[in-house]
Amino acid sequence: MLCSVELARLLPQLVDVLVVSVDVSDAGVAIHARTKSGVPAGCTGCGRLSEWCHSRYVRRLADASLGGRPVRIDLSVRRLYCENASCPKVTFAEPGGA
């Protein structure tokens, strides 16, 4: 199994997320990851930082092959509340590390 240092070297776009699991099969490599809780993200409307989580959802990303196998990244990201009452956005999705 790959350690987190080896994985970050192979897939540097995962360095800022928490890798939950890596499943390797003949069909491909499936990586399950999530953005880190407790890290503020900037609102896409006004830029104000928020950690107030509304919910999470999964983005499914495809990446280049790894060892000749296709790579799929399932990235769980947070939807956050904007804490700026004058911002037109009530909620926003944080950017995914991948």
Task: Judge whether 56 lies within some domain.
Answer: yes
**What is d(CA 9, CA 57) in angstroms, rounded to the nearest whole number?**
26
pTM confidence score: 0.73
Task: Judge whether 98 lies within some domain.
Answer: no
Band of pLDDT at residue 43, cut at 50, 70 and 90: very high
pLDDT tens sequence across 44-67: 999 999 999 999 999 988 766 777
| pLDDT value for 80 | 95
Contacts of residue 81, Cβ cutoff 8 Å, sequence gap at least 6: 50, 52, 53, 54, 90, 91
Consecutive H or E run containing 53: strand 53-66
Q: Give 88's DSSP letter.
A: S
Domain of residue 45 covers 4-93
Task: Judge whether 35 lies within some domain.
Answer: yes
